[in-house]
Amino acid sequence: MGNKPRYLVLLFLGLVFLLAGLLVGCGPTALPVIADFVAAPSEINSGESVTLFWNVTGAASVSINQGIGDVSAMGMKVVSPMTTTAYTLSATNVIGTVTSSVLVTVIPIYQPSPPSPSFTTYRDERWGYTISYPDDWFVDTQESGMIALNPPSPLTSSNIIFIMAIESPGSASEMAQSFLTVEKEKYPVLTVLDNREMEGKWDWYLCYEYLKEFEYVTVGRRAEVYIKNTEQYMYVVNVDFEDEYYDSYPLSQIVDTFTLLP
């Protein structure tokens, strides 16, 4: 009879361990698994929508940031971000939390005012030329004789057309090469698209693309250089805009209005 209490204690402990084992066996033994979390498409224009798809297993709770909140373990959600946005899915159970992120790139659509139907003419008596530009553009003159033409609301201060006249002209090809050498020193990522002699109004044409780093972003830009030699001066017209906005302005029309005074 003296062994009965000990037997009961052992039986009790066995039941406790058995119950504990059953309880542990009922719970998760690993972190949740995020099988899929994708955005389709991953790149959109401003104003368009994208669909998020996800599939999670082994999670007690699932949520997505950017104001979406708690979601089911499997599902989809249509979102319309205004700017480039990272969406992060978090899946949690008693073991811990796992996350997965997708980046949706939003390309802004810039719609400048329609080109002015009429042009204003700039006349430079000192250097002997005229050039016309839309009425809503503005002219920036410099003591060196160079002028800059800018649209009314440029996206960056370097959206510009500049006209330069210099003495001791040399040759148009030499000027183009010097111009290109300087640009390559400033912008290591530069691709020449065209570099050739012309007939007619212009003696030389240079076209290239490059990457320019601003404070928070790197943008692609396109530039065109038109060169004209005379017995007295060399004229250089340089058009330089962000690539995605290059076709939004009447740039070729402006360049075509360049005329030497008789």
Query: Do the Cβ atoms of 103 and 42 come closer than 8 Å?
Result: yes
Distance of alpha carbon 238 from alpha carbon 225, whole angstroms: 4
CB proximity list for 186: less than 8 A, separation 6 or greater: none
CATH number for 50: 2.60.40.10
Q: Looking at the domain assignment, is residue 19 inside a domain?
A: no
87, 107, 127 - which closes a domain: 107
Residue 23 has pLDDT above 50, yes or no: no
Q: What's at 158, amino acid-wise?
A: S
Q: What is the pLDDT of residues 140-195, one digit of tens each?
A: 887 777 899 988 865 555 678 999 998 876 899 999 999 999 999 999 899 999 99
Q: What is the residue range of 43's domain?
A: 33-107
First to last CA, the chain: 131
84 shares its domain with 203: no
Residues 153 and 61 in one domain: no
> Quick one: pLDDT at residue 245?
78
Choose one of 55, 78, 107: the last residue of a domain.
107
Give the model's confidence band at 22: pLDDT under 50 very low, under 70 low, under 90 confident, else very high.
very low
| Separation of alpha carbons 51 and 49, rounded Å | 7
Is 245 or 26 the better-scoring residue by pLDDT?
A: 245
pLDDT band for position 85 (cuts 50, 70, 90)? very high
| pLDDT on residue 96 | 93
Whether residue 217 is contained in a domain is answered as yes
Inside any domain, residue 5? no
Whether the predicted pLDDT of 214 surpasses 80: no
